[in-house]
Structure 1
Amino acid sequence: MTATKSAKRAMTKPEAKRFITALAEANPEAESELVFTDVFSLLMSVVLSAQATDKSVNKATPALFHDAPDPAAMVALGEEGIARHIKTIGLWRAKARNVFKLSQQLLEKHGGEVPSDRKSLEALAGVGRKTASVVMNVAFGEDAMAVDTHIFRIGNRTGLAPGKTPRAVEEGLIERIPRDMLRPAHHWLILHGRYICLARAPQCERCPGYDPCLYPDKSAIKAQRGEAP
């Protein structure tokens, strides 16, 4: 039995609604676990969180944002100064370069403000589609769906939105999740993948979306842990 097995078909829209509604009822106040105070600190935190945990980012950013609370201060701090603050985060050298360059770009092209549109966001150093989607969703209230490793896994494992690429999963989610639930679904799915639908050991016995989930091994996992399927 492998925890990475995928569903044999995609959920229907009614099934997807049942699944998302179950996650919503289990965690109605779901929100980003990154600590930030404004759009700039959110963008910086999301850039720093690539291939790193939110926990590691939250440990490093208070001192960084104290010394550099805005793009001008971040540029003044310099790449080496930024690097000193984030050495505990994975890929810190590349991230220090990106944060420095990104801050320069905000000053030179956007008057020191974080842009709200996808094209402008993705033109910034270190910002890809996922990062742009997070900022659009959290900061600007857009119905953007950021597909990280957790959401990619859930989309395929449960049948919610099967796809071979993050973009394919994103499109499937947008198609199946009710529009009025799309924005908060980003948080419900990430936290579900982080704490329940784990990569190697999915906690099916704790899953609020167990019934509509199409994961082939869910009954076996539940039975293995002493629960009735």
Structure 2
Amino acid sequence: MTKKQIQVFFERLREQRPHPKTELNYTSPFELLVAVTLSAQATDVSVNKATDKLFPVANTPEAIYALGVDGLKQYIKTIGLYNAKAKNVIKACKILIEKHNSVVPDNRADLEALPGVGRKTANVVLNTAFGQPTMAVDTHIFRVSNRTGLAIGKNVLEVEHRLVKVIPKEFMIDSHHWLILHGRYTCIARKPKCYECVVADVCQWPDRFEFGAAKSIPVKMIEDKI
């Protein structure tokens, strides 16, 4: 995509969802950290079902640490990889209590030092909890970025760096959520809903017309509108 096409792309996504947000349920940075940690290779719906029972009982590092691994497992056993996740969350709680006064750090180094917290999880917390202009690339964002021509890369790190470089500053804070939601509900993997896509006319995917996208507006016309 050209710079002007990218501008149109995010203007359309903003018009569609003026106030995007994560679909994980949380009320504090710590709850978000736990929820995102649990969401690896699991759906937001499954995580919410578990945390909706867990958080009313324990939603601080001290409270969850007091549950212990076995106690925590009882709340999250419906989530994939729950054994490993329970161990990581308990270890992370211990570190938060001992090194950070039970406060979730607002920097990448300290977040990624927590068990079970990788770059993607750290990016989500930094962006969603602390409003930092980070980009957490999951499978949805990786697919949308490559398919549309927004940011092409062979791996998630390449796509992340490309997105941070090309996304205009005015869209950066919310772009993570716009791209995830677009990939989750419109630009889906097997049968993308190009027939109802609000950015189909700037999308660069050659196969979009086979999935019902209307004939593209000439690039010159798009640029003339900006």
TM range (shorter): over 0.9
Counterparts of residues 175-214 of structure 1 (less than 5 Å): 175-214=165-204
In structure 2, the residue matched to 1:106 is 96
Q: Deviations over 1:199-229 (max 9, x none)?
A: 1111001110101100110012217xxx667
Q: Take 2:59 and 2:158, find their aligned partners in 1: how far apart are those partners?
A: 36
Q: Take 1:196 and 1:15, find their aligned partners in 2: how far apart are those partners?
A: 19
C-alpha deviation, 1:28, in angstroms: 1.2
Amino acid at match of 2:168: P
1:77 to 67, 87, 91: 67
In structure 2, the residue matched to 1:44 is 34
2:62 is equivalent to residue 59 of structure 1: no
Q: 1:228 to 1:143 in 2, by over 3 A?
A: closer
TM-score with structure 2 length normalisation? Answer: 0.93
Task: Between 18-27 and 200-209, report the one with greater CA deviation.
Answer: 18-27
1:151 to 138, 141, 158: 141
TM-score with structure 1 length normalisation? Answer: 0.92
In structure 1, the residue matched to 2:21 is 31
2:161 is equivalent to residue 171 of structure 1: yes
C-alpha deviation, 1:16, in angstroms: 1.3
Counterparts of residues 2-13 of structure 1 (less than 5 Å): 11-13=1-3
Percent identity, aligned pairs only?
Answer: 53
Q: Take 2:9 and 2:72, find their aligned partners in 1: how far apart are those partners?
A: 42
Q: Take 1:63 and 1:187, find their aligned partners in 2: how far apart are those partners?
A: 25
Structure with more relative contact order (C-alpha pairs < 8 Å, separation 6 or more): 1
C-alpha contact 1:151 1:190 (8 A) present in aligned 2: yes
C-alpha deviation, 1:30, in angstroms: 1.3
List structure 1 segments (4+ residues) > 2 angstroms apart after TM superposition. none
Please list every run of 5 or more consecutive structure 1 residues that lacks an aligned counterpart in the other structure.
1-10
In structure 1, the residue matched to 2:124 is 134
